[in-house]
Structure formats: C-alpha cells, structure tokens
Structure 1
Amino acid sequence: MKFLAISGSGRRASTNTAMLRALSSAAQPDHQVTVYDGIGDLQIFCPDFEAKPLPRSVQDFADLIGQSDGLIIASPEYVRAIPGGLKNAIDWFVSRKEIVHKPVVLMHASQRGDDMLAQLRIVLSTVSSRFNEDIFLRYGLMKMSPDEIEAYFETGRPRAELARFICRLAAHCSYSEPEADVFLSA
C-alpha cells in the first residue's frame, strides 16, 4: 500500500516533517510512505483557480493524493489553530474528488496543540468520509533537531509503534466503503 504523509509545516527543520520521515523509514516492504513537505509551495487557494489547468504545484499534490491509498497528516499548531499553509492545502481539495473517500489519520510531534488538533479533526471529517480520529500517534518531540528525532525512532519501542501505526492505517484502508454518494430512502 502507498501512503502519503503530509507535513503541515513549512519549516525546513520541522519536527513534524522529521517524524514523518522516521515513519517512512519504519515502513515494512509491503508499505510505502512518501513524505510531502511542499505545503509552502502551493498557490493560495481561490475558487477561480479550480478550473483546469490547476497551478502545477497543486496538480502535482493532487496527483500524489490520488495515487495514495491513505493519508497521514502531521502539523504544528500556530496561534492555537491550523497553520495557514495546511488549511490552504486542504481548501484546494474541498470540491475535488481526490480526498473525499480517502482514509486519513493524524500524527502529532508535540505534547501541545490540542486546539489545532480539534479544529483539524473537524475539517478532515468534513472533507473525507474516511477520516479516522482513533488512529492517532503523538510524541513530545519539541526542541529536538531532525537528527535527534531520526535517532529517537531508529530502534526500540518508538520504531515498533510507528510500524504498528502503519499497519493500523493499512487495515483501515483495506476496509472498503462505497465511494458513491448514494442516499437510500425508506
């Protein structure tokens, strides 16, 4: 299975991006985790730009989402809210099909950020019918460098937790739900 791990941070030395890279390296051979750290490269969303062709960076991101079996999102909290870059990225997909039935789960690299996580859960449950808030992994990695985060996840319990997290996401992705918007009447 192919998973896309989306970092909601634009920082080069982001703890969330480093955590997602560790997740990618912990993936077993039957799972591939690609880390997307280009949130800052996306054009600011405007409905006028939704017509084809999409801006190249948005189309490339849409292609990555479309080719994945599931999404993992990890993001910092900015001023107790979803960072603007991540919210912008999500806005691009509100009226597109790539994310509607895509399994989505969260990771978080801080012991803080509950306000942002609550907002993100609301937004993701609105744009994806398969957002699963129960598959969630959180670590207190603030103040650690990307190299320290990589070392933290190389062995032992943290690495095993990452592998289990990927397996839980794979199981969630394997559970099939109807992809058509069908309403049954009694």
Structure 2
Amino acid sequence: MNILAISGSLRASSTNSALLRAAAELAPNNVSVTLYNDLDDLPHFSPERDKENTSEAVNRLRALLQAANAVLICTPEYIHGMPGVLKNMLDWLASSGEFVEKPAGVISASPSDMGGSRAHAALSYTLSVLTANLPEGASLIVPFVRTRIDAGGHVTDPVLIDELRGVIRALVKAIELRN
C-alpha cells in the first residue's frame, strides 16, 4: 500500500511536515508513505494552462497521485484558511480526477488552541468537492502543535502518536475496502 503525504507548508522546519514524517514512521510495515516535497514547484493554476503543455511539475504530481492508494494532507492555517499553495495544488487536480473515490486523510496543525480547524474544514470541503473518500477516523486537528513536537521535529506527545496511528489505520482500512 502506498500513501502519498502532502504538507501544505513550504517551511523547511514545518510542524505539518514533521507530523507527516511521524505518521510515515508509525505506518505498518506493509504501508509505504511517500512525502511530496515539490508543492513550491507548481505553477499558478489557470484553466488555460491545463489544456495543453501542462508543466512537468503538475504531470509529476498527477502521476504520484495516480500511483498512490491514498493521500494524507497536513495543513497549517493561514488567515483562517488553507495556504494558497495547497489550494493551488488542488485547483490543478480538479479537472484530472486523481481524487475521485481516493481515500484521503486530513490533518491540520497549529500553535493555537483551534489547531487549524478552519483550514481543516476548508480542506475537507474542497476534497469532498473533488469526490475524495474521507474515511471516518482519517481526520485529525492538532492544537498547540509546538508543545507536542520537539525542536528536532519528533512527536513527543504519546496521545498525538496514538492519534496519528489511528489516521493511518483508517486510511489502510479504506484502501482495503476499496480493493
């Protein structure tokens, strides 16, 4: 089983990326989690650009999504929504159908007590519009994220470790049900 993990943050020391790396480490042996690191390479979306000569970065993303059995996206919250680069990525995928019935997990993380809940809601809604399968249990909001991860980007909170395992389990179950 292959899960493509996408961080909505471009920061090198992103807590969202750290959560995805932790989820990858917690995945069962029969599950491969690949972290997509090229979000910043995607051009700005425009419907005219999606007709012909689509950029290599977009083609590569689409190929990775097609090959994945599931997707796990972790987003920060910027101005009460998901980051523009993440929305831009989703715009590129609207016409090509990679998310149709694909199991997708949604995590949001923030240093605030809200845990990025508004970005989480926006991302979940957009994925549902793209007809992704959002399985029960594959959703997680992480408040006070900086107190739950150490300076090296390792999850230190045992509750959060269990929650991340639960997200992966829910995605694995959705993959099994789909096959």
Give the structure-1-normalised TM-score.
0.84
Structure 1 residue runs of 4 or more that deviate by more than 6 Å after TM superposition: 143-146
CA contact (8 A) 1:121 1:133 kept: no
1:117 — aligned with what? 120
Q: Percent identity at matched positions? A: 31
Task: Output the CA distance in 2 between the equivalents of 1:21 and 1:33.
Answer: 9
* Amino acid of the structure 2 residue aligned with 1:170: V
Task: Output the CA distance in 2 between the equivalents of 1:157 and 1:80.
Answer: 26
CA contact (8 A) 1:3 1:33 kept: yes
- Deviation for aligned residue 1:52: 4.0
- Deviation for aligned residue 1:89: 0.1
Moved more, 100-109 or 11-20: 100-109
Taking the TM superposition and a 5 Å limit, the aligned residue runs for 1:173-184 are: 173-176=175-178
Equivalent residue of 1:77, what SS? coil
Of structures 1 and 2, the larger Rg is shown by: 1
CA contact (8 A) 2:149 2:155 kept: no
1:142 — aligned with what? 146
Structure 1 runs not aligned, ≥5 long: 178-186
Taking the TM superposition and a 5 Å limit, the aligned residue runs for 1:17-28 are: 17-28=17-28
- Deviation for aligned residue 1:90: 0.1
Task: Output the CA distance in 2 between the equivalents of 1:51 and 1:119.
Answer: 27
- Deviation for aligned residue 1:63: 0.9
- Deviation for aligned residue 1:37: 2.6
1:128 aligns with 2:131: yes
Q: Using a 3 Å threshold, how does the CA distance of structure 1 residues 56 and 109 change in structure 2: closer, same or farther?
A: same
Q: Using a 3 Å threshold, how does the CA distance of structure 1 residues 76 and 49 change in structure 2: closer, same or farther?
A: same
Task: Output the CA distance in 1 between the equivalents of 2:104 and 2:9.
Answer: 17
- Deviation for aligned residue 1:59: 0.9
Which residue, out of 166, 170, 173, partners 1:171? 173
2:108 — aligned with what? 108
1:34 — aligned with what? 34
C-alpha RMSD over aligned residues: 2.2
Structure 2 runs not aligned, ≥5 long: none
- Deviation for aligned residue 1:100: 1.6
Give the structure-2-normalised TM-score.
0.87
